[in-house]
Chains A and B, each alone.
Chain A
Amino acid sequence: MSDGAASAAASSAPLLELRGISKSFPGVKALDDVSFAIHPGEVHMLLGENGAGKSSLMKILCGAYTADAGEFYYKGENVTLSSTAEAQALGIAVIFQEFSLVPFLDIAQNIFLGREPKGRIPGTIDRRRILADAKRVLDGIGFDIDPKVVVDTLGVAQQQMVEIAKAISQNARILVMDEPTAALSDREVELLFALIARLKADGVAIVYISHRMAEVFAIGDRITVLRDGRRIDQVRPAEVTPDQLVRMMVGRNVDMTYPRRFAEQPGELVLQVKGLSAATGISDIDIEVRQGEIVGLCGLVGSGRTEVARAIFGADPVTTGEIIFDGKPITGEPDVAARRGIALIPESRKSEGLALLRSVGDNLVVAALKKLFPSRLYDPRGAQRTAEGLIRQLRIATPSARQMVGLLSGGNQQKVVIGKWLAAGARLFIFDEPTRGIDIGAKSEIFALIDRLVAEGAAALMISSEQIEICHVCDRAYVMRDGRIAGHLARSELTEENIVRLGMHHE
């Protein structure tokens, strides 16, 4: 299972080799000494949890990020890779999950966007040549469609084909695909795999990021596992079992501990979600949360966790099902949920949780205005007193309540978002990635705060992509997959491996 064995068995010299790539962001080491070889005619699977460094590696490959350290070798020659132009010159093309097509242009226009062949009259475009060239590229990948069809009218699978055609037309020799089957039906997946086989035969190298165990073994020639920004191992599919891969993805030395006083006996039922479905892609969700509990909601990014949180809070309309809070059903907009005592601490703190240009004080009282001022007459001094009380209680590091909240650090901003719901007297706190972008020290402070909340009689539902946090902090957890609850893990079953196993696809 060692590196040496894998490369000795390699059929060809690597097309592109990355050696010792590192990349840091403030507070995070996204990639740490990662080496990675891409061979022509091979599918190289890239595996890892959310935040393992896959996206960073992908962005370095396409030139969007520049590595802090490390070297690149193209056909054995030392090259630089610090801009998208350089990546393109090396024949690297990336197909992101969010396509970069222009919806109102046709297929041919999209394929040649920005490099249209010029017509005879200056300033014009040779439309006939575009169509002919597009047809040739599409035929080349076996995609039988009229290049004059507008992209907007295509399905996801067809749009993906257009993206691939676009990459091929730019002479891409290395194709990086980010979870290409995430939105495809079984038949479409077959067609994609047939195309991948065809590209392999042409000598194209493919880097394939996946969360589906079955396809790792179905089409992978090599597997690289990343964890916490490090390359854990590189193996051949025949050398490993799915269980071994899962262990590689999650196994780590656990050195972080969070304070948590687990309740002996959970209290009253606070939240009961029954058969909840919404147009945002979640269906048949059943969740219960009791007083004094922190209940985890995990699963891969995109599995519908945020959508569940938003539906409970009334931020997205519910199609079927029931949400019962404190024994009474709840429907309507977020103002209803907030009035009843539900709080949402959203995933994107800056765009959804705070008014960045307003003061810390304004942000702290905004959800509690009606509670603080039942007469509807606003008293700035009263608001400031409340804000200052919260600043002391939560130890928010700010020179004063008048400081603009956008100037605080991530951890302190998160405390402001939590603080506004303390002021409002919420009893169910829904946390969506409460520690995202927050440094370790502030993380344990946030968890201590959540622990205190539930110890004092509140309840919490916590979404996190950090399985380790869920395992340490939660009383139990639900795991989501494809918009549904894939399973429930009691405290005793709550391990990273179980979470990953339930959240992954094993079709």
Chain B
Amino acid sequence: MTDIAKNAPSPAWSLLSHNAAQLFYRLLAALLICIVLSVLSDAFLSLGNILNVLRQASLTFFIASGLTLVVLTAGLDLSVGANVALSACLAGTVIHQTGSPTLGILAGLLTGGTVGLMNGVMVTAMRIPSFIATYGMLWVLNGVTYWYMAGETIHGFPAGFRQIGSGYFLGLPIPVYLLLVFLAIGTAFAQRTVWGQEIYAIGANPVAARLSGIPVNCRLLLVYTVSGTMAGLASIIFLSRLNSAEADIGESLTLPAIAAVLIGGTSLFGGVGTIFGTFVGALILTLVLNGMNLLSINANWQPLVTGIIVIIAVWLDMRTRRSAP
């Protein structure tokens, strides 16, 4: 920060163009991966595969989009995966008990949102660092879910409900429509509302934000609640797509969501990043993993590759940000 402050003003450089350039490079990277994969694998450009990539990316995106808001405030939500598992199991139970998918969906969203609100209370009222609060919450949620499910699986839901995750409309999977809707809502919220601007201000300097009259704690509560609610939404799509719920379905979700946020250019230090960037991040991540599957590369390599991409993306971001005149 001081490095940048020391430099002389340069009229040529402005923040907007810099952020736009960051996004442009990411889209370029995604395109490059697509070109390479289409050369290496005939199956890549098939309609089925492309729709599959989009559907996979959408699942990561739902979780990662809410998480992006948290990271924009320089926080972190490690409980999203565990939240998806609990929300899915409760939603599944409600559908089974009542036979009503609508009530089930409400239960899932409500569970996710409540967990998020509790995270927010820990971070604001109790002043626990978000990393620790949500890490503790992860264990608590896992504990509750495992106790509640007791090793059981909830299986078999009404056909209408299953359409959400696996149905098509005009040739596109339903989750892709949901992806577009939430990408638009998320972007509009972050870029075009007063609350969104306040979230950026809080992430950039929480002390200055508070002394500028922004109700910091209220906004943080909102952000964690939204993150939880998006986990609840993801749980519904998972439930619908898998047609079953188990206690352990959330375990492999948190880290890829964080990876999507970071690859998408949102800074863990807060104040920098976009929802659209996170979408591109989720896309890049899914494309690479999809490509490795198509090229029959052993799945054991996937975590390694994910890690390298995250490190390179963040490193490039920090380099360009530091060297920005």
When distances are taken between beta carbons in the complex, the residues of chain A under 8 Å from B1 are 356-357, 406
> Are B9 and A378 in contact (CB-based, < 8 A)?
no
Q: How far is the CA of A379 from the CA of B197 in the complex (A)?
A: 10
**B208 proximal to A (CB < 8 A):** yes
**A366 proximal to B (CB < 8 A):** yes
In chain B, positions 225-272 with a C-beta closer than 8 Å to chain A are 271-272
> Are B204 and A358 in contact (CB-based, < 8 A)?
yes
Stretch of A36-44, A277-285, A369-377 contacting B (4+ beta carbons < 8 Å): A369-377
> Are A354 and B205 in contact (CB-based, < 8 A)?
yes
> Are B14 and A420 in contact (CB-based, < 8 A)?
no
When distances are taken between beta carbons in the complex, the residues of chain A under 8 Å from B271 are 355, 357-358
> Are A358 and B8 in contact (CB-based, < 8 A)?
no
B4 partner, pick from A357, A377, A379, beta carbons under 8 A: A357
Q: How far is the CA of A357 from the CA of B1 in the complex (A)?
A: 7
- Known pairs A351-B207, A352-B207, A376-B195; A338 contacts B4 (CB<8 A): no
Q: Mark B1-37, 1 if CB is under 8 A from A, else 0.
A: 1001101111100111100000000000000000000
**B155 proximal to A (CB < 8 A):** no
**A315 proximal to B (CB < 8 A):** yes
Q: How far is the CA of A247 from the CA of B255 in the complex (A)?
A: 67
Q: How far is the CA of A376 from the CA of B192 in the complex (A)?
A: 9
When distances are taken between beta carbons in the complex, the residues of chain B under 8 Å from A155 are none
Name the residue of chain A whose CB is nearest to the CB of B202.
Answer: A355
From residue B88, how far is it (CB to closest CB) to chain A in Å?
A: 33
Q: How far is the CA of A408 from the CA of B205 in the complex (A)?
A: 17
**B159 proximal to A (CB < 8 A):** no
**B308 proximal to A (CB < 8 A):** no
> Are A359 and B14 in contact (CB-based, < 8 A)?
yes
**B212 proximal to A (CB < 8 A):** yes
A353 partner, pick from B194, B204, B208, beta carbons under 8 A: B208
When distances are taken between beta carbons in the complex, the residues of chain A under 8 Å from B205 are 351, 354-356
Name the residue of chain B whose CB is nearest to the CB of A345.
Answer: B211
> Are A398 and B9 in contact (CB-based, < 8 A)?
yes
Q: Mark A379-406, 1 if CB is under 8 A from B, else 0.
A: 1100000000000000000111011101
A378 partner, pick from B197, B209, B214, beta carbons under 8 A: B197
B5 partner, pick from A313, A352, A356, A367, beta carbons under 8 A: A356
- Known pairs A369-B197, A400-B14; A355 contacts B209 (CB<8 A): yes
Q: How far is the CA of A486 from the CA of B284 in the complex (A)?
A: 65
Name the residue of chain B whose CB is nearest to the CB of A358.
Answer: B204
Q: How far is the CA of A335 from the CA of B215 in the complex (A)?
A: 6
When distances are taken between beta carbons in the complex, the residues of chain A under 8 Å from B204 are 355-358
Q: Mark A402-440, 1 if CB is under 8 A from B, else 0.
A: 111011100000000000100010000000000000000
The interface on chain A, measured as residues whose beta carbon lies within 8 A of the other chain's beta carbons, has a size of 43
When distances are taken between beta carbons in the complex, the residues of chain B under 8 Å from A53 are none
Q: Mark A324-359, 1 if CB is under 8 A from B, else 0.
A: 000000000111011100001010001111111111
Q: How far is the CA of A358 from the CA of B198 in the complex (A)?
A: 12
**A362 proximal to B (CB < 8 A):** yes
Name the residue of chain A whose CB is nearest to the CB of B214.
Answer: A335
Most-contacted residue by chain A among B1, B15, B214 (CB, 10 A): B15
> Are B213 and A338 in contact (CB-based, < 8 A)?
yes
Name the residue of chain A whose CB is nearest to the CB of B201.
Answer: A366
When distances are taken between beta carbons in the complex, the residues of chain A under 8 Å from B211 are 313, 315, 334, 344, 346, 352-353
> Are A400 and B212 in contact (CB-based, < 8 A)?
no
When distances are taken between beta carbons in the complex, the residues of chain A under 8 Å from B5 are 350, 356, 406-407
Most-contacted residue by chain B among A346, A403, A420 (CB, 10 A): A403
**B38 proximal to A (CB < 8 A):** no
> Are B16 and A402 in contact (CB-based, < 8 A)?
yes
When distances are taken between beta carbons in the complex, the residues of chain B under 8 Å from A356 are 1, 4-5, 204-205
**B193 proximal to A (CB < 8 A):** yes
When distances are taken between beta carbons in the complex, the residues of chain A under 8 Å from B224 are none
B192 partner, pick from A353, A377, A424, beta carbons under 8 A: A377
A337 partner, pick from B17, B194, B207, B213, beta carbons under 8 A: B213
When distances are taken between beta carbons in the complex, the residues of chain A under 8 Å from B215 are 333, 335
From residue B66, how far is it (CB to closest CB) to chain A in Å?
A: 20
Q: Mark B268-293, 1 if CB is under 8 A from A, else 0.
A: 00011000000000000000000000
Q: How far is the CA of A315 from the CA of B206 in the complex (A)?
A: 13
- Known pairs A373-B194, A376-B194, A402-B14; A408 contacts B213 (CB<8 A): no
When distances are taken between beta carbons in the complex, the residues of chain B under 8 Å from A399 are 9-11, 14
- Known pairs A357-B1, A404-B4; A369 contacts B198 (CB<8 A): yes
Most-contacted residue by chain A among B1, B8, B15, B208 (CB, 10 A): B208
- Known pairs A359-B14, A369-B198; A407 contacts B213 (CB<8 A): no
Name the residue of chain B whose CB is nearest to the CB of A339.
Answer: B213
> Are A366 and B197 in contact (CB-based, < 8 A)?
yes
When distances are taken between beta carbons in the complex, the residues of chain B under 8 Å from A333 are 210, 215
Q: How far is the CA of A338 from the CA of B213 in the complex (A)?
A: 5
From residue A351, how far is it (CB to closest CB) to chain B in Å?
A: 6
In chain A, positions 54-75 with a C-beta closer than 8 Å to chain B are none
**B100 proximal to A (CB < 8 A):** no
From residue A261, how far is it (CB to closest CB) to chain B in Å?
A: 30
When distances are taken between beta carbons in the complex, the residues of chain A under 8 Å from B193 are 376-378
Q: How far is the CA of A167 from the CA of B272 in the complex (A)?
A: 47
A315 partner, pick from B9, B191, B194, B210, beta carbons under 8 A: B210
From residue A49, how far is it (CB to closest CB) to chain B in Å?
A: 28
When distances are taken between beta carbons in the complex, the residues of chain B under 8 Å from A376 are 193-195
Would you list 27 pairs from A and B whose C-beta atoms are within 8 A, ordered by A residue? Answer: A315-B211, A333-B210, A333-B215, A339-B213, A344-B211, A351-B205, A351-B207, A352-B207, A352-B211, A354-B205, A355-B204, A355-B209, A356-B1, A358-B15, A358-B271, A359-B14, A369-B194, A378-B192, A378-B193, A398-B9, A400-B11, A402-B14, A402-B17, A404-B4, A406-B4, A408-B9, A420-B212
Known: A335-B214, A399-B10. 9 other contacts (CB 8 A): A337-B213, A353-B208, A357-B272, A362-B201, A373-B194, A376-B195, A403-B11, A406-B4, A407-B9
Closest 7 CB pairs of A and B: A338-B213, A355-B204, A399-B11, A402-B14, A406-B5, A355-B205, A367-B212
